Amino acid sequence: MMQIVKQFLRLVIPYWCSRASLFSWIIFIATVATTLGLVQVTVELNHWNKAFFDALANFNGELIYQLLVEFIVLVAIIVVMRVYAKWLQQWVEIRWRSWMTERLVTRWMSGHNFYHLTLTAEPDNPDQRIAEDIKMLTTDTLKLLIGLIKSIATLAAFSVILWQLSSGFLLPLFAGVELPGYLLWLAVLYSIIGAGVTHFFGRRLHSLFYQQQKREANFRARLLRNRDHAEQIALMGGQAHEQQVLSRRFRDIEGNWRSLMSREKKLGIVVNTYHQIAAMVPYFAAIPALMAKAITIGGVMQVRMAFMNVYRSLSWFVLSYDDLTRWSATVVRLAQFVEAMEQCEARAKTASRIDTDQGINADKLTVKTPNGETLLSDVSFILNDRDAVMVRGPSGLGKSTLLRTLAGIWPFYQGQLAFASNNTLLLPQTPYLPTGSLRDCLSYPQMSNDDDAVYHAALDAVNLGALIARLDDECEWSLTLSGGEQQKLALARAFVQQPAVLVMDEATSHLDETSAYEILQRLKTQLANTQIIMVTHQSHLAALFERTLDLSAFSHKITHHKREGRVESAQENAELGGLIRVP
């Protein structure tokens, strides 16, 4: 439990100790003040309760009508205060949630954290942790905290009333011992027993709520994946397989839900029995004082109301048990998310990388997988920023991983790396085409501009002139265009953005030989100041590259190769002039 409290404080202190929370503090204090005012009005209603039933017992019609007017006023005040207490609480919730969401999204999207988390697959479903868990944390925290404050205030106010009501009667116990304020002690004892029994039957709810949130998120993520890859699934006839996977994931939800149902059923039996008995306990408890004529019938009704308020206050833990277990599961999930981002940031700091304006320099570079397996080791080279370089090697060697390292998004490496990372464009084999206009798609990730000529020229350069008329059309381009057209559109980005370094990972694999050759040739001509690095298995493109970097010698997966790097070019190796250096 202490671990959960520590995690909770780490999550909430950044906001509540910041200047941004000043207005939220004011609203929160107003919420608490309204809640305390509501407790005071409830105390007045308790006194009204005694007066009203005494008036009934004495057949005092005139007083009854006066008390009815008082009742209407008290009820009106209670309604207004409850409504505004809830409204103020919701105001704090949205301000806190907005701040926390903005900060976590910013942190998630900074430094490639969003990508690094997918490499380790932990924590799962960051989308749910941002969209749902933050909402649940802010809502449940305020609900529980204000409920606790109200319970403490109610306990303080009605404990005094219960003590006073039972002060005129000492309950005899044994051997002449008498118990003062027995009504209060009975309420305390009853609440303690209820809390212990509730925790015994509900202690497993925390883990069940945690698993339920996780499995619901996994099911939703699979549905979204099927939507995003609908065409590929349809072409491969994978509907039956996907249906089986979805059914299996939903069965996971159903299985955990049944366990949750069983546990909540047992808890519900205990809690409801506890509540039903509590409704009659004050009547029976007041009988000795009533028989001793220490209280009136109105006093009995006052005892009941005071007892129920003390009992509910002391039973805050019991009444809030479901909320507490859900809240604790939410705290753990969000804390795991924050800790995972901290690990990503710490890992990024250990990576040795130097920004440079000229060329690429790798010195004893070792590239690894997220689980620590070495892909490439002791890779050293110097690339001139005017030469196009083709990276080659067998599939699965680590070529794509090396490109991601050069592009600055792969953190699992050791060694020295100098690279112009401030203006780099990486084109993967499967391009990302955001929903929006074609203009925005070509400019992504930068903002678009109004210079139509730039976009027209880029589309012409990749043989997509037919799309010029649709430049400002908004569309789901990944569903509208073929695989080859999507790759052409991604290549057009290079013409629009003209990066200092262009890294391509099988970026022309869906194009025919002629189109791939022509577009790459235009890239070299029109982007003369751009360093081009490309992984490709299309051998007909080799003539367009001044240098070829063969990674076979650096791979741990190919043990039969002699440990010497090979760099080929259209000229003799002797003419490299130190351009490529290998150990």
Mind listing the pLDDT tens digit of every residue in the chain (583 residues)? 788 999 999 999 999 999 999 999 999 999 999 999 999 999 999 889 889 988 988 888 889 999 999 999 999 999 999 999 999 999 999 999 999 999 999 988 887 888 888 877 677 778 888 888 999 999 999 999 999 999 999 999 998 888 887 775 555 555 445 567 777 888 888 888 877 887 787 778 878 888 888 888 888 888 888 877 776 788 678 888 888 889 999 999 999 999 989 888 888 888 788 778 877 888 887 777 777 777 778 878 888 888 888 888 888 887 787 788 889 989 998 999 999 888 888 877 766 566 666 667 888 888 888 888 888 888 888 776 677 888 888 887 888 888 888 777 888 888 888 776 667 888 988 888 888 889 888 988 887 777 889 999 999 999 999 999 999 888 888 888 888 999 999 999 999 988 888 889 999 999 999 999 999 999 999 998 888 889 988 888 988 988 888 887 776 554 433 333 344 443 333 233 333 333 3
**Predicted pLDDT of residue 8:** 93
**Predicted pLDDT of residue 574:** 29
Q: Could you give the domains of the chain? A: 1-168+320-346 (no CATH), 356-554 (3.40.50.300)
- Strands (E) across 262-383 are located at 353-355, 360-368, 374-383
Neighbours of 83 (CB within 10 A): 11
Q: Please give the torsion angle defined by the CA atoms of residues 152, 157, 163 and 168, in that order, rounded to the nearest 10 degrees.
A: -170
Neighbours of 167 (CB within 10 A): 15
Predicted TM-score (pTM) of the model is 0.73
Contacts with 480 (C-beta within 8 Å, 6 or more apart), sequence order:
none
Contacts with 79 (C-beta within 8 Å, 6 or more apart), sequence order:
none
**Predicted pLDDT of residue 94:** 95
The string over 350-364, giving b where at least 16 C-beta atoms fall within 10 Å of a residue's C-beta and e elsewhere, is eeebeeeeebbbbbe
**Predicted pLDDT of residue 380:** 82
Residue appearing with tokens 């001139």: 384
Q: Please tell me what DSSP assigns to residue 540.
A: G
Could you tell me the sign of the dihedral formed by the alpha carbons of 202, 203, 207, 209, in that order?
A: positive
CA gap 129, 417 in Å, rounded: 34
The string over 28-60, giving b where at least 16 C-beta atoms fall within 10 Å of a residue's C-beta and e elsewhere, is bebbbebbbbbbebbbebbebbbbbbbbbeeee
Q: Which two tokens stand for residue 61?
A: 């019609």
Q: Which two tokens stand for residue 197?
A: 């029994």
Contacts with 340 (C-beta within 8 Å, 6 or more apart), sequence order:
117, 120, 122, 123
Q: Which amino acid is at 56?
A: L
Could you tell me the sign of the dihedral formed by the alpha carbons of 474, 480, 481, 483, in that order?
A: positive
Angle between helix 297-314 and 239-291 (nearest 10)? 140
DSSP codes joined into one string, 127-187: HHIIIIIHHHHHHHHHHHHHHHHHHHHHHHHHHHHHHHHHTT-PEE-STT-EETTHHHHHH
**Predicted pLDDT of residue 563:** 35
**Predicted pLDDT of residue 461:** 93
CA gap 351, 50 in Å, rounded: 74
Inter-residue contact 533 to 406 (CB < 8 Å)? yes
Q: Please tell me what DSSP assigns to residue 364.
A: E
Nearest Cα to 165, choosing from 64, 271, 255, 49? 49
Reduce the DSSP state of residue 438 to 3 states and report it. helix
Peptide bond into 282 cis (omega under 30): no
The string over 491-513, giving b where at least 16 C-beta atoms fall within 10 Å of a residue's C-beta and e elsewhere, is bbbbbbbbbbbbbbbbbbbbbee
CA gap 31, 85 in Å, rounded: 5
Q: Which conformational region is residue 198 in: left (phi greater than 0), alpha (psi within -120 to 50 degrees), or beta?
A: alpha
SS3 annotation, 188-208: HHHHHHHHHHHHHHHCCHHHH
Pairing of strands 360-368, 413-419: antiparallel
Nearest Cα to 481, choosing from 270, 473, 67? 473
Contacts with 43 (C-beta within 8 Å, 6 or more apart), sequence order:
157, 158, 161
CA gap 499, 324 in Å, rounded: 52
Alpha helices of 351-436 — where are they, by DSSP H?
A: 399-406
CA gap 405, 399 in Å, rounded: 10
Q: Which two tokens stand for residue 470?
A: 């649709």
Contacts with 544 (C-beta within 8 Å, 6 or more apart), sequence order:
388, 517, 520, 521, 524
- Say how far residue 263 (Cα) sits from the centre of its chain: 27
Q: Which two tokens stand for residue 116?
A: 């690094």
- Say how far residue 159 (Cα) sits from the centre of its chain: 42
